[in-house]
A = this chain, B = another copy of it.
Amino acid sequence: MPEVRAGELLLRVVYLSLDPYVGSILRGRHMGEAPPEPGNVIPGRGLGQVLVSKAPGYSAGDYVLAETGWRDHAVVKADCVRRVGTGIAPLSAYLGAAGMPGLTAYAGLHHLAKIRGGENVLISSAAGAVGGTAGQIAKILGASRVIGLAGSDKKCSLTVQNYGFDDCINYRTPDWQDKLRAAFPQGIDVYFDNVGGELLMAALTNLAHYGRIVLCGLASQYHAEERPAGPNPGLYIAKRAQLFGLVVYDFEKEQDAYSEMAGEWIRQRQLVVMEDRVDGLENAPHHFEKLMRGENLGKAIVVVGPEAQ
């Protein structure tokens, strides 16, 4: 066990969150950060329980979110953690629909796209942690029609049957672009983009005039060596499109308020949480690769230890 100094906490990691941005970090493509050297801890957010506190305000037994990395125990600075209240939502939901992925979805739809009641919404990576939450939040915020894009029939079923999407199109079927056009006879008012590439182009083609696009993720580029080009700006002009680049860190001060609101939605079953869990830190690499291949159904989580000890 490492030494715990003043202002620090020793955590026992309960859940480790697996997120695509970690893949970007490992490739040196995240916010200008250098990738970790081989042998160093792989970065990642975890939900942990305090074993030893040398910081005011925290006691042994408290649950916190922290940058734990891929570890079963971590010493972290107390001013870099966020306390999670038990009972507001299931603990693991703080890594997904009630946590940062959920805030990402909410910030994009509410603060950037300023979604209004009655609008027609398209969500890509619809079965993913951000996309699945975004579709449900769009409904909560009054969207009249929410359509998903996902990479398998199984994922599409999840979004419609569990998340309440109105429909979901498997973009790996040959006629998916025809289905997309048919799904939006009035055009797309808001497109929440977690993918880029061909899906962004198809959404733009079917965008209503003055439609808004939240640029959130780039799943189509996870395995690309080069960053491919994007749509010609003339296509945005023709649609009078509005685009918003989203980085969730900008909304961090809203995280607690969001978590409380999302916890309420979860309790009222307006917001359904689905998780793709694996047990044991030793299975994290395999589970992470599964996430990066897009084979997860719901929020990817590693169960590192029991909730209560």
Contact A218 B233 (CB under 8 A): yes
Instruction: Point out the residues of chain B lying under 8 angstroms from A250, CB to CB.
Output: 240
Q: Which residues of B contact A233 (CB under 8 A)?
A: 193, 196, 200, 215, 218, 230, 243, 245
User: Is A241 interfacial (CB 8 A cutoff)?
Assistant: yes
Determine whether the beta carbon of B229 is less than 8 Å from that of A232. Answer: yes
Copies in the complex: 2
Chain B contacts for A196, CB-based, 8 A: 232-234
Residues of B within 8 A of A231 (CB): 229-230
CB distance from A81 to the nearest CB of B (A): 25
Within 8 A of B (CB), among A202-219: 215-216, 218
A172 vs B200: C-alpha distance when bound (angstroms): 33
Selected from B29, B193, B230, B241, the residue in CB contact (under 8 A) with A229 is B230
Residues of B within 8 A of A230 (CB): 229-233
**Is residue A31 contacting chain B, with contact meaning CB distance below 8 A?**
yes
A38, CB-defined interface residue at 8 Å: no
Which residues of chain A in 251-308 are interfacial with respect to chain B, using CB atoms and an 8 Å cutoff? none
Q: Which listed residue (B29, B32, B237) contacts A245, Cβ 8 A?
A: B237
In angstroms, Cα B233 to Cα A244, docked, is 10
In this assembly, does A247 line the interface, its C-beta being within 8 Å of a C-beta of chain B? yes
Minimum CB–CB distance from A225 to chain B (whole Å) comes to 13
Residues A228 and B218 in contact, CB atoms below 8 Å apart: no
What is the CA–CA distance of A243 and B243 in the complex, to the nearest angstrom?
5
A221 at the interface (CB under 8 A from B): yes
- Which residues of chain B come closer than 8 Å to A31, judged between CB atoms? 238
Residues of the B chain whose Cβ atoms lie less than 8 Å from the Cβ of A32: 238
Contact A244 B245 (CB under 8 A): no
Residues of chain A whose beta carbon lies under 8 Å from any beta carbon of chain B: 29, 31-32, 193, 196, 200, 215-216, 218, 221, 227-247, 250
Can you list 22 contacts pairing A with B, beta carbon distance less than 8 Å? A32-B238, A196-B232, A196-B233, A215-B237, A218-B234, A218-B237, A221-B232, A228-B232, A229-B229, A229-B230, A229-B231, A230-B230, A230-B233, A233-B243, A236-B243, A237-B245, A237-B247, A238-B245, A240-B246, A241-B245, A242-B242, A243-B243
